[in-house]
Amino acid sequence: MSLTNDQNSETRDETTDPFGTTWAWKGGAVTGLLATVVMGVFISLMNLPTLQLAIAGLYGQTGNLVAGWFAHLAHGTLFGMIFALVLSDPGLYRVTEWYWKTTVAGVVFGMMLAIVGAGIIMPIWLGFAGVPTPPSIPNVTVPMLIWHLIYGLVLGGIFPLLEDM
């Protein structure tokens, strides 16, 4: 960022003002959706009942695979938008200029979703939704961590490419 206000300077500093950044919600939504599709494929291959019973059960649709996929895609898209919102913070406004930093941010975000969202909030939500035997708290398993690692890698890996949608 240039500290001078020289109007006649031929060399301009092209950096942006950190407080002038905008929220790349469209890029976050598309990236979140793509990351959720990839994650959902891995869930389907490794443990299909997670989508059928647990995720569909959040909305009283236990056993409905279509409802599970729909809910999962909606959640992942919204979380992609939240990821974009977090990265729009003035203290983080240049993180997306470094591909590896955005990827690391995606992995950290994915692990946070696994532990807090799926590990703590989801079992509570399932209990309120009337699922007869919700998982105990915390419900953090190796497959869940792997799935959310995949989500975070795809989210952080693709977001810099789609940020300016």
Distance in angstroms (rounded) separating the CA atoms of residues 41 and 48: 9
Residues 108-151: pLDDT tens digits? 999 999 999 999 999 999 999 999 899 999 999 999 999 999 99
- Angle of helix 65-87 relative to helix 142-162, nearest 10 degrees, comes to 50
CB within 8 Å of 157: residues ≥ 6 apart: 99, 102, 103, 106
User: pLDDT tens for residues 61-100?
Assistant: 999 999 999 999 999 999 999 999 998 887 877 788 888 9
Least confident of 2-6, 36-40, 96-100, 106-110: 2-6
User: Which residues, other chains included, contact 12 with Cβ-Cβ below 8 Å and sequence gap of 6+?
Assistant: 2
CB 109 within 8 A of CB 148: no
Task: Enumerate the domain spans of the chain.
Answer: 22-162
